[in-house]
């Protein structure tokens, strides 16, 4: 069974934000909710690098561990999903998440949190695959169609890789070998407790 992961090759990321708008487009994500974002480190200085970041679908996901209502689940593909029916919008997953992935629509009074929203790895939610309910709550379910997340598929420089962890690690390692240096597989140590820097 595949173990789905994301890998952003920082040597390739040019902060074009295609991943961000592809995500918005595919799932009709509303203004203010950023399931994926690109963060630039050392902006404007030599050494500047940008990283596209969303939910990394961690191994032993912290969000799932701290959720007071246990609304997270991990699919057979190791994608970390949650049920918006169960979520109470407490914000705990945001405190625990190493990557700032959980997003909360501002609903109700005093801008308090609504149901949490995050990257689904284009894998929908608990509803039936491809159902209207699933789309409205979580967006498209590309994985069920045998497609990978659109952010990675549309990445301008093939910096953002998605797919089975072993395969994308292999692709990345080949790149590292060819160019002679690594770019760090940002987040892998934190998310998957492994490093593929050669």
Partner 1 sequence: MASFGRFVRLAFGAWALLLLVMAAPAPLGAQQVNPTASSVKEQQLLQELNRIQGRVSIPDQRSGMLEQPQGREWREFRNVTLRWIGGIAILGMLAVLVIFYLSRGMVKLESGRSGRTIVRFNAFERFVHWMTATCFIILAISGLNITFGRPLLLPLIGFEAFSEWSQWAKYAHNYLSFPFTLGVVLIFLMWIAGNIPNKVDIEWAKRGGGLFGHDHPPANRFNGGQKMIYWIVVIGGGLVAATGYALMFPFYGTGIEGMQMAQIVHSIVAVLFVAAMMAHIYIGTIGMEGAFEAMGSGEVDVNWAREHHSLWLAQKTGEQGSSPSQSGHAAAPAE
Partner 2 sequence: MLIKRTHQRSDRRGTVAESLAGQGGGLDRRSFLRKSGLAGGALAALGTMPVGSVRKAEAAAAGPLTAGATIKKSICTHCAVGCTVTAEVLNGVWIGQEPSWDSPINRGSHCAKGAAVRELVHSDRRLRYPMKLVNGQWTRVSWDTAVNEIGDKLLQIREKSGSDSVYWLGSAKMTNEGAYLFRKFGAFWGTNNTDHQARICHSTTVTGVANTWGYGAMTNSINDMRNSKTMLFIGSNAAEAHPVSMQHLLESKELNKANFIVFDPRLTRTAAHATEYVRIRPGTDIPVLYGMMWHILKNGWEDKEFIASRVYGFDDLRKEVEKWNPQEVERVTGVPGEQLERVAKMFATVKPATIIWCMGQTQHTVGTANVRASCIALLMTGNIGRSGGGANILRGHDNVQGATDVGLDIVTLPFYYGLAEGAWKHWSRVWEVDYDYLVSRFDEKKQMETPGIPLTRWFDAALLPKADVAQKDNVKAVFVQGHASNSITRIPESLKGLKALDLLVIADPHPTTWASLSVEAGRKDGVYILPVATQFECTGSRVASNRSMQWGEQIVKPIFESKDDLEIIYLMAKKFGFADKMFKNIKVENNLPVAEDVLREINRGSWSTGYCGQSPERIKAHMKNQNKFDLVTMRAPKDDPEVGGDYYGLPWPCWGSPEVKHPGSPLLYNNNLHVMDGGGAFRPRFGIEREEKLADGTTRKVSLLADKSFSKGSDIEDGYPEFTLASLKKLGWDSELTEAEMATIKRVNAANPDAVSWALDLSGGIQRVALKHGCVPFGNGKARMNAFGLPDPIPVHREPIYTPRVDLVEKYPTLPDAKQFRLPNIGFSVQKAAVEKGIAKQFPLILSSGRLVEYEGGGEETRTNPWLAELQQDMFIEISVADAADRGIKDGGWVWVSGAENNSRARMKALVTERVGKGVAWMPFHFGGWLGGADLRKNYPAGTDPIVLGESANTITSYGYDPATGMQEPKVTLCQIVAA
Q: Give the span between the Cα atoms of 172 and 162, in whole angstroms.
A: 11
Q: Taking the complex as a whole, how short is the minimal distance between the CB of residue 153 and partner 1, in angstroms? A: 23
Q: Which range, of 68-76, 139-147, 161-169, 170-178, touches partner 1 by CB under 8 A?
A: 68-76
Q: Does 110 bind partner 1 (CB under 8 A)?
A: yes
Cβ atoms of 20 and 54 within 8 Å: the answer is no
Counting Cα atoms < 13 Å in the Cβ hemisphere of 180 gives 0
Q: Which range, of 93-101, 130-138, 148-156, 165-173, touches partner 1 by CB under 8 A?
A: 93-101
Q: Taking the complex as a whole, how short is the minimal distance between the CB of residue 141 and partner 2, in angstroms? A: 5
Q: Taking the complex as a whole, how short is the minimal distance between the CB of residue 158 and partner 1, in angstroms? A: 17
Cβ atoms of 191 and 98 within 8 Å: the answer is yes
Tell me how far the alpha carbon of residue 100 is from its chain's centroid.
10
Phi, psi of 63 (to 5 degrees): -60, -45
- In the range 166-195, which residues lie near partner 1 by CB under 8 A? 183-184, 186-187, 189-190, 195
User: Which of 22, 27, 34, 72 touches partner 1 (CB under 8 A)?
Assistant: 34
User: Which of 4, 18, 71, 79 touches partner 1 (CB under 8 A)?
Assistant: 71
166 token code pair? 């072993």
Residue 32: exposed, middle, or buried by beta-carbon count in 10 A (0-12, 13-18, 19+)? exposed
Q: Which does 154 bind (CB under 5 to 8 A by kind): partner 1, partner 2, none?
A: partner 2
The per-residue DSSP string of 177-198 comes to HHHS-----TTHHHHHS-----
Q: Taking the complex as a whole, how short is the minimal distance between the CB of residue 24 and partner 2, in angstroms? A: 4
How many residues are there in the chain? 198
Q: Give the span between the Cα atoms of 88 and 72, in whole angstroms.
A: 12
Binding mask 136-165 for partner 1 (x = CB under 8 A): ------------------------------
Q: Taking the complex as a whole, how short is the minimal distance between the CB of residue 26 and partner 1, in angstroms? A: 19
Q: Which does 107 bind (CB under 5 to 8 A by kind): partner 2, partner 1, none?
A: none
Q: Which does 158 bind (CB under 5 to 8 A by kind): partner 1, partner 2, none?
A: partner 2
């Amino acid at each position: 069974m595949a173990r789905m992961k994301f890998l952003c090759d920082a040597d390739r990321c040019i902060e074009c934000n295609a991943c961000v708008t592809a995500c918005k487009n595919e799932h009709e994500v509303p203004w203010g909710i950023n399931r994926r974002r690109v963060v630039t480190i050392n902006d404007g200085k030599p050494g500047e690098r940008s990283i596209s970041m969303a939910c990394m679908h961690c191994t032993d996901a912290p969000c799932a561990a701290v959720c007071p209502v246990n609304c997270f689940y991990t699919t057979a593909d190791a994608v970390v999903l949650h049920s918006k029916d169960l979520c109470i919008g407490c914000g705990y997953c945001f405190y625990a998440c190493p990557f700032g992935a959980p997003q909360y629509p501002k609903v109700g009074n005093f801008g308090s949190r609504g149901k949490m929203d995050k990257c689904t790895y284009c894998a929908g939610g608990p509803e039936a695959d491809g159902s209207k309910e699933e789309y409205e709550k979580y967006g498209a379910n590309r994985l069920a169609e045998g497609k990978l997340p659109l952010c990675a598929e549309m990445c301008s420089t093939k910096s953002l890789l998605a797919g089975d962890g072993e395969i994308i690690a292999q692709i990345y390692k080949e790149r590292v070998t060819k160019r002679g240096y690594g770019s760090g597989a940002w987040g892998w140590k934190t998310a998957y407790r492994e490093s593929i820097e050669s």
